[in-house]
Structure 1
Amino acid sequence: MSFQHTSNHATRGGQITFHTIHMFFQVHSKLGKYLVYAVAALTLLLTWLRAPDNAWWAIFYTVRNHLYQGFGMQETAKVTTFWNGQRYVSTLGLQLNNTELGTLYDSVIHQVQINFLIAFFSGLVLFIMATRYFKAQGEKKSQDKHIRGSQLVEPKALSTDLKQRAKEKKKRGNGNGKLSDFVIDGIALFKHDFEVQHVGLKGTTGVCKSVAIRKLLRWIRKRGDKAIIYDKGCTCVSKFYDESQDTILNPFDERCPDWDIWCDAKEAPDFENMANALIPQHGEGDPFWVDSARTIFSSTGYRMKDDQDDKRSTERLLNLILTSELEELGSYLHGTESASLVSDKIQKTAISIKSVLATYIKSLRFLDGLNRENEDGQPERKKFSSTDWIQDDNQRGFLFLSSAARQHASLRPLISSWLAIASNAILGLAENPDRRIWVIIDEMPSLHKLPELGEIIAEVRKFGGCYVIGLQSYAQLTKTYGKNAAEEMNDLLNTRFYFRSPSNAMAEISSKDLGEQEIELSKEHISYGANQLRDGVSLSHETRTQRLVIPSELQSLDDLQCYLRVPGSSFITQLDLSYDQMRNIASPFIKREFPPSPGMLEAYEKAVYLETVVPGMALPESEKKVLCAIQASQFDSEDEMNVEASQMNAALKGNTVNRLKKQARRGDAETVEQDTSTQQATSTATQERMNKENDGASTSKGGVNDIELYD
């Protein structure tokens, strides 16, 4: 830093400092002078009011007599005194020794001393009050004034505002005048029935969104409400699972009941909704392949619904859909809308469709063994229907849709289907404003695109549905659902927790969500110069609209910190959540041992064959790229893809794949041989025809010497 800059800073700092000191003494000297006058006046006033009768005459005569003495008057000299209306004449010496005058004089002087102390301390209190008043006025003039829009307040201020609004609504006949009994760390921050307007939690990984969800789950358990919980990582299972009333849907977990698609699908629309969740449409590509795959799956499942129980199974469903013989599947689906999609007349199209089918429905193979019977011929597990559980108001407890880390990619289609089934089941209930059924989906974009979720969230509140949706990033939601659908769902989440967003782009979105405020901005200007007349301070005000929380504040939030926005109030508050240490009450995951049955193993190997081998053999490069994009879209990370790839590589070495490859090669050879024989027969016939034409031409050549048909 140059000497000139240092000198300028020192000059500027000195001018400001001495100006501040000068102003300080100016204010306090004026205040002190006025207080001295006030203390003196108060002392005299109190003495006047509290002095005994004739006290002031006693002071007058006492002072007079001492003045006479001071000016040399003899004590034998006569002086006149008026007292109580009488005239007394006596010597100066007797007046100086008059006990009555002395007593009254001493009493007044004593009163003056006492009254001075009272006035002094009163003045000191007045000085403190005046100082505080000046400080308050200074703060008032220097503070920004809120005009309209959102306000950032302490949690208790938000609670007070909500209570006041609830009382006002009750006076208008709306509500019960109370807040929700759900409290966060002892503070009521939510209006009554806030849950049916749905809750959103946004923030990157590791910011403790799960802590807020656990606080909510404890309250839900206390209320006795039903809850469907998507539990990626099985953490909620370990904290809340109660065997007496809860259910875990995870085919890898030993505690999973017996479930297949016919438990929750009874009518054609049920199968269509299930197919939409099981086979998602990612991105903005051509929906033909996915729509066709959905149609085949729903038609096959619906047709199999009417089969006998011993013929209706997940194993048969998969083997039938994934069979390499189009004639067999076409015969089974004859008369349905899917029949044309599996016709051997459009073999390449059918192969593409079945490849998409194989990508997603192979997750159903994990249901293998859930329907096994014990030695007595009785099912080892109870049948479970989430639709029946949801629509039975007598049922209670939690339904956990769990998955461990390495299982998630495999279970994603199933979990997405279960959530879609649960959402539609809530819409099938009778309207009941007192019912509560919670659907808690943390890390929602890690699932497939749930069909019509926006419309379901918008409609479900009158049936008692309450959605709690957690997002790591708004971009994930946009990627899965598209921009319009993502905005629609985001707008339906009225209560919102905003945790840390590391990227500026995502923090910008949350900052906009938290709103703006219009304020009157106070500005202080300081002027100084060589002449003291130029020193001064001026205050000005400017109206400005600004963000309540800027993106960098959201980026710098610590773990367990978040901003909370609730419906029914313009106040926003920042929370520092307390970490509630919860002990595990159940095992998060108990592995189910189930060696795959031969039929299910064959079905999986068929799926892998259709997914990986057939497209390379039968499809052009453009269609292969489309299928590869669809297959890659089901994975969130490279680790998930590697896990699935290792399983598929093992399946490619299986007997089924080898047999199908041989059949394909044999079929190609037969096709080539047939094509060669046909070509030879065609060439022979053509040659004979040409020879006959040549003979005819020679015969008639004499008549047409000027035309030569053949060389």
Structure 2
Amino acid sequence: MKHNLLNFTRGSQLLGHFGFMFAAGLKGPLIVTGLVAVGTCYWEVRSALSDHQIYLVWMHIYASLYAFMEFDPAKLVNLELLDGERVGLPFSIVREFPPMREAVEAFLTAVKHGLLVSAVLLIPAFVFFWWFAERFGGRSKERKHERGAMLVSLDELEEEIERHNKAFRAEELGHKFGWKWRLASSSALAEAGHYQPAHLAGVSWPWRLEQSHAMLIGTTGTGKTVALTELVAEARERGQRAVIFDLTGAFIEAFYDPARDIILNPVDVRCPLWSVFNDCTTEAEFHAAAEALVPHDGGGSEQFWVLAARMLFVEMCLHLARTGTATNEALARQLMTADLSEVHKLMRGTMADPLTAPEAARMAESIRAVFNANAKVLKLLPSSGPRFSVRDWVKGDCQAGSILFLSARYVDMSISSQLLTLWLDTAMNTLMTLERTQDLRMWFLIDELGALHRLPALEKGLQTARNFGGAIVTGVHAFAKLKEVYGENMAMTLSSLARTKLILATADRETATWCSDFIGHRQVRDMEEGYSYGYNNARDAVSLTPRRQIEPLLLPDQFMNLPRLSAYIKFPDGFPAAPVSLIPRTRGRIAEGFIAREKPLIRPGQGPAATTPQAKPGSKPNDEHPASNDDGAGKPVDLRQLKLDLEGQRRIADEPQDRQEPVPLERRNAGRAAGDLGAETRSVTHLDAGPTLPLAAVQTGEDAPAMGAEQHLSEPGTASDDAGEKDGSKPQARSAANGRQPLTPVEKDLREGAVADPPEKDFGEFEPDM
């Protein structure tokens, strides 16, 4: 009830306040209206009536008032005629005097005409005043942009870009041709090879800003491929070259021309014969290739294993180049599959010598394993066909409008990603070795940047490729994926270097917030309206208070709720952002997206039956050093798996020799119940010899021998057995006599409910807990 009373009080006070304020607002216009109406009527009356007629009008008014008051109607009134004579007429008939009636009719006509003139003047004036007051009141409260980013309509953005391009075109062509260029049409200038801005999402790029690079941000299915397809079609029409990373095969199906285009896909039949030696001729180039082929995780400093694997690859490539065996097969055979001793012989005297030394066999194998895990795709490259070099293609050994497709299916990305990274990195590095130019020389279109490994040349390309005619357009699904590949700091660097942004719908808030920051912030001034009212109307008031604040131009939720094929575009150099809509176009399929190079090795339902893998024998050691899979003493390590005999609760090997029979639990429990707790032994299975050998006899009682702090494993027939024979019985015999089987450390853990952790030492070096 109290709440309702407060609402009623507030509402009634505000209604009264607004009523008085509205009346106060109308007071001025009403006064002006009255003054104007009176003035026009007076002017019309004075213009239309003579003085005698005005006199008669006044006498008519006088007679009307006399009759209204119901005075004596027979009383005479003196009227002055037009000639000056006076005549007396009673009040009852004076208003019917013909000259007076004519004067009254003329007066009414003049008044009507004056009011009509007033209406013609006042109604537009009043409408204008109303519009002005309403607009002024609205503008006084609306947000005012003071500085920062701006959001405009698409038409406004296109008009601004058109004015900008027209001014720069006139300046550039004027320096080249003077005033004569104005005689040529735009199509003639384009046919002559003069620069024409490209288009992104149907919007023209500002003059020569394609080389400021672009980033397309949006989740799957929002329209990134649609925008890139239009860009490729325009580049093909203008004869511009492009390097396209095509993960789905959509670009190959729509644009592949066998006469001038190249497909680099290690498992595609159309892939030419490519080798790392075709693109690398110096040690620096091999180092650049190694950096792309063996990437690190993108977070922090590069690991030792990655750097060592790169060094091993570079030194092996240099050796093969010097010996004239620079082929993919030789690289795979001598580095990836050869025995470590053979690799060390090839690397002797190089910087990779200590990395492959047999003394550090395990480290060497780890380094090679890191390289093999990243470079395994080298074994899948074709060994025949036309030779191809990415460097030669970038330098111009191709037709106009040629496209280099770097392609891979999703199922092949696990083995192809490193090679695709190497090819793209090589193309970018080669471009930056050419002569500087301000003309657009080549496009780099990467639909899904996160699908590739870290591109070492990408940061350098975004920084300097514009000076060599390179324009890079990347597509990003989510900021988290970019951070995963490049690290947080580098991800921010890459996104800032791509200055043109096309932002489509995003699926996560982090990416949406990231995009909101790209569009920008602005400082605005808001007018806050406040009301005050009281019992006395003098206290009623409305106050407007200005307040400045900085806010994002677009909220993250606006990007998360964008429909597909809708986006916001933002160009550099101070151009405002604007909403755009993408229009997909159906293109004919002119080629297959993927053609397998070889048949599968195993067909479904065929192949050998599954068997238990057998242990591989150790490699043969040389005269100086043990093999890489030795235990360090020249003997192959027999990696027998340990099993637990759950019935007897003993730790045994896969194939033990002379194994003792397990003692039933009932027998051991009976011996423990009899109080015979002595002569309990601990034994461990020797992995090389097979049988379970005692380490020491841990006894309790008066004749318990002293033990050292540590017992070592003894070979069969050594002092360990002799010690047991001195007192006339073997440890196993004494344990059997006591009705109990010796407990191993694993048995103790099982009895106590613990799970034994695997030993950190090598097999055969197990030490008992004391």
TM-score, structure 2 as length reference: 0.67
Q: Which residue of 2 is the match for residue 542 of structure 1?
A: 547
Uncovered stretches (5+) of structure 2, i.e. residues with no partner: 65-74, 90-94, 176-181, 187-194, 622-626, 639-687, 689-714, 716-770
CA RMSD of aligned residues (A): 4.4
Deviation at 1:358, TM superposition (A): 0.9
Residue 594 of structure 2 is aligned to residue 590 of structure 1: yes
| Separation (CA, whole Å) in 1 of partners of 2:156 and 2:637 | 86
Aligned match of 1:139: 138
Structure 1 residue 409: Cα displacement: 1.6
SS at match of 2:543: strand
Please tell me the residue identity of whatever aligns with 1:391: K
Unaligned runs of 5+ in 1: 82-88, 372-378, 602-645, 677-682, 684-711
Residues 423-438 of structure 1: pairs in structure 2 closer than 5 A: 423-438=428-443
The CA distance in 2 between the partners of 1:365 and 1:225, in whole Å, is: 33
Give 1:461 shift.
0.7
Q: Report how far residue 37 of structure 1 moved.
A: 3.0
Give the superposition deviation at 1:115: 5.2
1:371-410 alpha-carbon deviations (Å, 9 max, x no partner)? 1xxxxxxx4xx33222212211853232221222211222
Given the superposition, is the C-alpha separation of residues 345 and 242 from structure 1 closer, same or farther in structure 2, using an over 3 Å criterion? same
The 8 Å contact of residues 394 and 427 in structure 2, kept in 1 or not, is answered as yes
Secondary structure of 1:568's partner?
A: coil
Do the aligned partners of 1:180 and 1:194 also contact (CA within 8 Å) in 2? no
- Bigger shift: 520-529 or 494-503? 494-503
Q: Distance in 1 between matches of 2:15 and 2:201?
A: 46
Cα–Cα, structure 1 residues 110 and 485, in superposed 2: closer, same or farther, change >3 Å? same
Query: Going by fraction, where is helix more abundant, 1 or 2?
Result: 1
1:249 aligns with 2:249: no
- Tell me, in whole angstroms, the C-alpha distance in 1 between the residues paired with 2:106 and 2:408: 94
Task: Tell me: CA distance 1:116–1:342, structure 2 relative to 1, closer, same or farther (3 Å).
Answer: same
Q: Which moved more, 1:230-239 or 1:356-365?
A: 230-239
Matching residue of 2:583: 579
Question: Any conservation in 2 of the 1:315–1:368 contact (CA below 8 Å)?
Answer: no
Q: Cα offset for 1:593?
A: 3.6
- The residue aligned with 1:206 is 221
2:151 aligned with 1:152: yes
The partner residue of 1:390 within 389, 394, 401 is: 394
Deviation at 1:452? 4.0
Q: Does 1:672 align with 2:628?
A: no
Contact persistence 2:566–2:582 (CA under 8 A): no
Instruction: Tell me how far apart the structure 2 counterparts of residues 187 and 46 of structure 1 sit (CA, whole Å).
Output: 63
The letter for the 1-side match of 2:236 is: R
Task: State the distance in 2 between where 1:395 and 1:651 align.
Answer: 51
Contact 1:235 1:588 in 2 (8 A): no
Q: Which has the higher contact order (CA 8 A, sep 6+)?
A: 1
User: Are residue 662 (structure 1) and residue 598 (structure 2) matched?
Assistant: no
Cα distance in 2, alignment partners of residues 237 and 572 from structure 1: 32
Q: Is the 8 A contact 2:240 2:402 kept in 1?
A: yes
The corresponding residue for 1:687 is: none
Match of 2:237 among 222, 229, 251: 222
Displacement of 1:163 after TM fit?
Answer: 4.8
Q: Distance in 1 between matches of 2:173 and 2:163?
A: 13
Does the 8 A contact of 1:241 with 1:585 survive in 2? Answer: no
- Is the contact made by 2:253 and 2:590 (CA closer than 8 Å) also made in structure 1? yes
Q: Given residue 475 of structure 1, which amino acid in structure 2 is its aligned partner?
A: A
Superposition deviation, residue 255 in structure 1: 2.9
- Is 1:149–1:570's contact at 8 Å kept on the other side of the alignment? no
Percent identity over the alignment is 25
Deviations 1:427-486 (A, max 9, x none): 121112113311112221221111143123211111101111222222322222233332
Change (3 A) 1:117 1:383: farther
Letter in 2 for 1:321: L
Q: Which residue does 1:80 correspond to in 2?
A: 83
Q: Give, in whole Å, the separation in 2 of the partners of 1:347 and 1:507.
A: 50
Alpha-carbon spacing, 1:114–1:559, altered in 2? closer, same or farther (3 Å):
same
The alignment partner of 2:456 has SS state of coil
Distance 1:56 1:651 in 2: 129
| SS in structure 2 at match of 1:662 | coil
* Greater Cα radius of gyration, structure 1 or 2: 2
From 360, 367, 377, the counterpart of 1:353: 367
Offset from partner CA, 1:152-186 (integer Å, 9 cap, x none) = 32233333444555677789989999997445665
Counterpart Cα distance in 2 of 1:663 and 1:421: 40
Who is 1:708 aligned against? none
Q: 2:303 and 2:609 mapped to 1: Cα distance?
A: 29
Deviation at 1:506, TM superposition (A): 3.4
Q: 1:322 aligns with which of 325, 328, 336?
A: 336
Aligned residues: 595
User: What residue number does 1:643 align with?
Assistant: none
Q: Distance in 2 between matches of 1:242 and 1:157?
A: 39
Structure 2 counterpart of 1:344, which letter? Answer: P
Change (3 A) 1:289 1:516: same
- AA matched with 1:559: R
Q: TM-score, normalised by structure 1?
A: 0.72
1:514 is matched with which residue?
519
SS in 2 for 1:430: coil
Looking at structure 2, the residues matched to 386 and 168 of structure 1 have their Cα atoms a distance apart, in angstroms, of 39
Alpha-carbon distance in 1 for matches of 2:267, 2:637? 49
The answer as to 2:563 corresponding to 1:558 is yes
What SS does structure 1 have at the residue aligned with 2:598? coil
The aligned runs of 1:116-195 (5 Å cut-off) are 116-163=115-162, 181-183=197-199, 187-188=203-204, 190-195=205-210
CA distance in structure 1 between the aligned counterparts of 2:40 and 2:58, rounded to whole angstroms: 26
Shift of 1:118: 4.1
Q: Which residue of 1 aligns with 2:68?
A: none
Measured in 2, the distance between the counterparts of 1:504 and 1:337 equals 48
- Deviations for 1:115-170, whole angstroms, at most 9, x for unmatched residues? 53343133222222111101110111101222222223223333344455567778
Q: Structure 1 651/563 Cα, relative in aligned 2: closer, same or farther at 3 Å?
A: farther
CA distance, structure 1, for counterparts of residue 268 and residue 10 of structure 2: 74
Classify 1:149/1:315 alpha carbon distance in 2 versus 1 (closer, same or farther; 3 Å): same
Residue 306 of structure 2 corresponds to residue 290 of structure 1: yes
Deviation at 1:13, TM superposition (A): 4.1
Instruction: Please say which of residues 500-509 and 398-407 is displaced more in the overlay.
Output: 500-509
Tell me: CA distance 1:114–1:158, structure 2 relative to 1, closer, same or farther (3 Å): same
Separation in 2 of the partners of 1:276 and 1:74? 123
Which deviations, in whole Å up to 9, do the C-alpha atoms of 1:10-66 show, x marking residues without a partner? 543454345434433443454344334334434555787xx68xx655854775897
